[in-house]
Chains A and B, each alone.
Chain A
Amino acid sequence: DQQVKQNSPSLSVQEGRISILNCDYTNSMFDYFLWYKKYPAEGPTFLISISSIKDKNEDGRFTVFLNKSAKHLSLHIVPSQPGDSAVYFCAASAENGNTGKLIFGQGTTLQVKP
């Protein structure tokens, strides 16, 4: 039972345009959400997070939106750059940070074309 789902395995966008990566979840107890970026042969790196008490969090070119009623979150990258080409994982926690355990989605591979 996949509690966190990224239904698009891949996404291709043109440099300068907006990239929108989507993530759906089923567990209404999730209270914290994170996005990680992963380059080949490297570990994932933390990108941005959002608490369930918010509906938007912005950090430079990256914005995460949370729609709790739809159990959906999205990551917007504006403008997209070739260096953003990577695998993006969304992750969720249901334990208020007490243990740090995360449930990850399957990942979406983003390709930004010059």
Chain B
Amino acid sequence: NAGVTQTPKFQVLKTGQSMTLQCAQDMNHNSMYWYRQDPGMGLRLIYYSASEGTTDKGEVPNGYNVSRLNKREFSLRLESAAPSQTSVYFCASILTFDYGYTFGSGTRLTVV
């Protein structure tokens, strides 16, 4: 099925561990985004890639890095996880802005 695929769906990390969240889209979209959702905070932009080969910081980039591996894939890396990074992470992509994002189903990350 066409769409945005995120892996893993769930993850528990210990403080200080690292991990990479994977995101892939098969809709030939140019722009991709990583958001985190926290209770009472809505969704906040971590990093985005407006086009292949470019990445930029969003609203809450500290503690994260990203890689736009190719047009399809956009990964988010936590180098040294902290409990404050416990959240639900969503990847999204768009073809043209008028149609809104297509979101993945999310990765629920717990850092203990």
Contacts and interface: CB of A to CB of B under 8 A. Distances in A.
A110 interface: no
A38 to B, nearest CB: 8
Interface residues of B, number: 29
Given A43-B90, A44-B103, A49-B98, A100 B42 contact: no
Contacts of A4: 42
B48 interface: yes
Interface string B79-98: 00000000000101010111
Contacts, number: 67
Contact of B56 (A6, A89, A99, A106): A99
Contacts of B97: 32, 93, 97, 100
B20 interface: no
Interface residues of A, number: 28
B40 A43 contact: no
Interface of A: 4, 6, 9, 32, 34, 36, 41-47, 49, 89, 91, 93, 97-107
Given A34-B100, A99-B56, A102-B101, 18 more contacts: A41-B105, A42-B105, A43-B90, A43-B92, A44-B101, A46-B100, A46-B101, A46-B102, A47-B100, A49-B98, A49-B100, A98-B50, A100-B94, A101-B48, A101-B58, A104-B43, A105-B42, A106-B42
